[in-house]
Structure 1
Amino acid sequence: MDARGFGSTGQRVSVIGQGTWRIDGSASADAVAALRAGVDAGLTHIDTAEMYGDAEAIVAEAIEGLREEVFLVSKVVPGNATRRGVARSCEQSLRRLRTDRLDCYLLHWPGSHPLEETIAGFEDLRRAGKILSWGVSNFDVDDLEAALRIAGPYRIACNQVLYHLRERSIEHAVIPWCAANGVALVGYSPFGSGDFPNPASPGGQVLARIAEAHATSPHAVALAFLTRLDGTFSIPKTGRALRALENASARDVALTEDEIATLDAQFPRGRRPSSLPML
């Protein structure tokens, strides 16, 4: 699937997007080329953040001339998330990204500033046209409930959380909550930040067999599995154009029920944790 509805925004967004955490500024030419290759292949959902070093500037270069094709997301760190601080951070991100608006703006994780202030800041920006929607990141169900009580229904566009084959605990409660409340679920670090199954391991062999059946790669199979549920999205990061094209191929992988069951058994979600896993 190429795109699906993004929460309550009314927009259709590419199911597989592009993350930018740990993009290497010293290899910015390669990063720009990878992002552009991804956009050309349909990975038009690009995620970045003010705390990602040079990432926003790299994204700006990559999407030059392509802004209307891109669903652009950035994030404010909790330390800046007062009502005024949100406005300042957003303006700085807009300057670095060389754009006049963000399609979605996220609180990077729950912080110490009152959530009422942060949401008021988001709504100010939305009314001013600086952002078209807003959401959250690394929010567990209790945090989501608090945000919903403050903002009301159909204001929280998405919740961005850790989600990969070896970390599926959000399936217990976070994904069902988001589905029930019209909130898109965006999974970050879908390849486990260096913990992708080794080809020689049992899990790696299962991925390889399924990949062979679909004439694709194990990474594409993983992305197809992680976006199998309606309302879910994934934002893999890569600094290589060829890997971006490989990631894009996941949209054409239609896993069978038996393949999904096999992956589910090989990479079980385990018990619900006491706190939300995050990086």
Structure 2
Amino acid sequence: MDAMADTEIPTTTFPDGRSTVALAQGTWNMGDEPAARATELDALRAGLDAGLTAIDTAEMYGSGRSEELVGEAIAGRRDEVFLISKVLPSNASRRGTGEAARRSLARLGTDRLDLYLLHWRGSHPLADTVAAMQELVEEGLIRAWGVSNLDADDLDELAAIPGGDAAQTDQVLYNLAQRGPEHDVIPWARSRSMPVMAYSPLDQGRLATDPTLAALAEPLGVSAGQLALAWVVRHA
């Protein structure tokens, strides 16, 4: 972490002009084990100290316990953080989206989210979710919104909805071992100057111990994990 603190972290810019660091702290599986809570809090706070000020969570993670953990970690430091959470598809009706957002805010101990994402597409019409997101922006409860796990056809449909072009990002599974978004989602997003957020950039840790990556990374003086992260930041 000390080495990272001395390194300039790249940034990404959203269509609305706001920027944040291009490497976020993910919290999937955090909050599941009470015995790990202290370690997880220390990790999140150390990340903030190192400049990893974007934190991604979701109401689904730990059935809300991840958001509670994040809220504790950022207490007293909210203004440092670019805070991202997600609404479950089952909650993403026009009314349900707002209710879910308010529950997330309560668990996080904050009055606003910097980015609120539809976690994946479900049975509720995208138009209803978009309308709810617009209302949350107007109320000041979220600064902006986006989507996750939508393919290019879904994104075309979203863009055709009134207000749908306000989506700031699509968060998708993307790493050196999982490159499907290169065929459709990434070209779609680039044509609209919309960044793609890549989740599981280390393929759930597998790339950090990949021997081929380690051999390529060694002459560069970096780890396999660092090389994999740098690749995603450059290509997403």
- TM-score using structure 1 length: 0.77
Other structure's SS at 1:196 match: helix
Please list the CA deviations of residues 144-178 of structure 1 after superposition, one character each: whole Å capped at 9, or x if unmatched: 11111114475111100001221011111111111
More helix per residue: 2
Q: Separation in 2 of the partners of 1:21 and 1:125?
A: 24
**Aligned partner letter, 2:95:** R
Percent of pairs identical after alignment?
47
- Give the alignment of 1:23-42 within 5 angstroms: 23=30, 24-26=32-34, 27-42=36-51
Q: Measure how far apart 1:226 and its partner are.
A: 0.8
SS in 1 for 2:169: strand
User: Residue 247 of structure 1 aligns with which residue?
Assistant: none
Distance in 1, Cα, partners of 2:41 & 2:231: 27
What does 1:15-54 correspond to in 2, within 5 Å?
15-23=22-30, 24-26=32-34, 27-53=36-62, 54=65
Aligned residue number for residue 127 of structure 2: 116
Structure 1: give runs of 5+ residues left out of the alignment: 199-203, 233-279
What SS does the corresponding residue of 2:147 show, helix, strand or coil? strand
TM-score, normalized by length of structure 2?
Answer: 0.90
Aligned amino acid, residue 14 of structure 2:
G
Trace 1:195-234 onto structure 2 (pairs within 5 A): 195-196=206-207, 198=209, 204-229=210-235, 232=236
1:206: Cα distance to partner? 3.0
Q: Which residue of the partner structure matches residue 5 of structure 2?
A: none
The equivalent residue for 2:166 is 155
- Give a deviation string over 1:173-217, Cα, whole Å, max 9, x none: 11111111122201111121254365xxxxx33322332223221
CA distance in 1, matches of 2:122, 2:112: 24
CA distance in 1, matches of 2:226, 2:165: 31
- Conserved 8 A contact 2:208-2:224: no
RMSD of aligned Cα (Å): 1.5
Count of residues paired in the alignment: 225
